[in-house]
Structure 1
Amino acid sequence: MSYGDSSSLIGTELDALSGRMRTESLKVLLDHWRVIKGPLLMPSRRQIDPVEFGAALPRIWLCDYEQDSDRFRYRLTGERVAKRFGHQLSRRYLDDNTNPDYYPRVHRYYRNVVDLPAALYIYGRLYAETSNPIHGERLLLPLSDDGRTVQNVIGATAEIVSTDSDGERFLPEYQKHTYVALETGAVIEESLPV
């Protein structure tokens, strides 16, 4: 597929990011985001068309970034996300639904998506702070009304069901974060123990 960023370093790096993804729902969301952003730095929330990624909707979430309070408030969450937390997250804050010991780490990577701005792909153990972590992947993408300042972050979280050689459920002991900076195409990677 051809995108508005296809002939740029940013496009090359976003292609590489897509190539790492193991679940179709994340790929579909990234494809839609790239189509609606065209050659711009990032698209706006109003451009999103959920019909274009309908199969991914149960895994999708959308947050507003409230700059004055430096908080992320969920605007909507898909069924699987709500089920994971045991309730709808709409109108609730990220810090209200994240273990206080893990919140600084989670807030930092959300803020990196806003501040760089960047597309972020996370692979490894997710929900590590809970009693039921998963092996999965997560995508966070910035949205902007003016094309420069991030007001929203849209994302998806998907489980990867796999077993080790003994047939036991596989859970990585790390998270790998890969950022693609949207202004330069620079790739920033970090691997964090969980």
Structure 2
Amino acid sequence: MEQLERDAETRLAEFRQRLGAKDQRTLLDYWLAKRGRRRMPSRADVDPAELVALLPNLMLVDVVDDGARFRFRLVGTRVARSSGEDRTGRFFDEFAFFRAYPNVTDQYRQVAADAEPLLATEIFFNREHGTAYDVERLLLPLGQNEAKADMLLAHFRFMRGPFSRE
């Protein structure tokens, strides 16, 4: 058991080194601190007041029916403005983007099932202006038990376009 814990800690340390932005490292460190010795923290462990500087680039996503569907619980202001719509309360499958890019939903499903962080680059569309740009998305699982995630915390790093900053 101790070897498994050491292996997991080594994987997370290596994962942290791959993060290119300070905000990503800050969020991962926060998640790790809230997790403690558990596999992942719960939603109750996450206090938005402790993440004020990151909130515009964050999303909370409900895992519904064991990952069969995902619902936007909270969408940060920068994320909503960058997409040209506020998706709060709606399901992924209501949007053409997720039907056109099923690999994005597959990544959310993977994090929900494996309860391990994921960093991915994806294209991001602004429906209002018809523009597209690349973002890096950090996905972190949240769950009340050790078996599976029931919510995901997502951070978006806008790599180019009008919403990019560092």
> Are 1:152 and 2:151 an aligned pair?
yes
SS in 2 for 1:8: helix
In the TM superposition, residue 108 of structure 1 has moved relative to its aligned partner by: 1.0
Q: How does 1:79-90 map to 2 (within 5 A)?
A: 79-90=77-88
Q: Cα gap change, 1:33/1:13 in structure 2, threshold over 3 Å: closer, same or farther?
A: same
Q: Is the 8 A contact 1:63 1:74 kept in 2?
A: yes
Aligned counterparts of 1:19 and 1:126: Cα–Cα separation in 2: 23
| 1:15 paired residue number | 13
Residue identity in the other structure for 2:117: A
| 2:140 paired residue number | 141
In the TM superposition, residue 126 of structure 1 has moved relative to its aligned partner by: 2.5
Aligned counterparts of 1:128 and 1:97: Cα–Cα separation in 2: 11
| 1:36 paired residue number | 34
| 1:168 paired residue number | none
Q: Which residues of structure 1 form unaligned runs of 5+? A: 1-6, 163-194
Aligned counterparts of 1:63 and 1:87: Cα–Cα separation in 2: 16
Q: Is the 8 A contact 1:32 1:52 kept in 2?
A: no
Q: Is the 8 A contact 1:145 1:151 kept in 2?
A: yes
**TM-score between the two structures when normalised by the length of structure 1:** 0.71
Q: Is the 8 A contact 1:22 1:160 kept in 2?
A: no
| 1:172 paired residue number | none
In the TM superposition, residue 140 of structure 1 has moved relative to its aligned partner by: 0.5
In the TM superposition, residue 147 of structure 1 has moved relative to its aligned partner by: 2.6
Aligned counterparts of 1:135 and 1:69: Cα–Cα separation in 2: 25
| 2:164 paired residue number | none
**TM-score between the two structures when normalised by the length of structure 2:** 0.82
Residue identity in the other structure for 1:118: E
SS in 2 for 1:133: strand
Aligned counterparts of 1:126 and 1:112: Cα–Cα separation in 2: 19
In the TM superposition, residue 136 of structure 1 has moved relative to its aligned partner by: 3.0
Q: Cα gap change, 1:95/1:44 in structure 2, threshold over 3 Å: closer, same or farther?
A: same
Aligned counterparts of 2:11 and 2:54: Cα–Cα separation in 1: 23
Q: Cα gap change, 1:92/1:128 in structure 2, threshold over 3 Å: closer, same or farther?
A: closer
Q: Which has the higher helix share?
A: 2
Q: Which residues of structure 2 form unaligned runs of 5+? A: 162-166
- Structure 1 runs of 4+ aligned residues shifted over 3 Å read 128-131
| 1:105 paired residue number | 103
Aligned pairs, number? 154
Q: Is the 8 A contact 2:83 2:126 kept in 1?
A: no
SS in 2 for 1:118: coil
Residue identity in the other structure for 1:127: F
| 2:131 paired residue number | 132
Aligned counterparts of 1:59 and 1:139: Cα–Cα separation in 2: 10
Aligned counterparts of 2:74 and 2:57: Cα–Cα separation in 1: 11
| 2:43 paired residue number | 45
Deviation readout 1:83-125 (Å, 9 max, x if unpaired):
12222221011122342221x21121111111122211113x4
Q: Is the 8 A contact 1:23 1:160 kept in 2?
A: no
Q: Is the 8 A contact 2:139 2:152 kept in 1?
A: yes
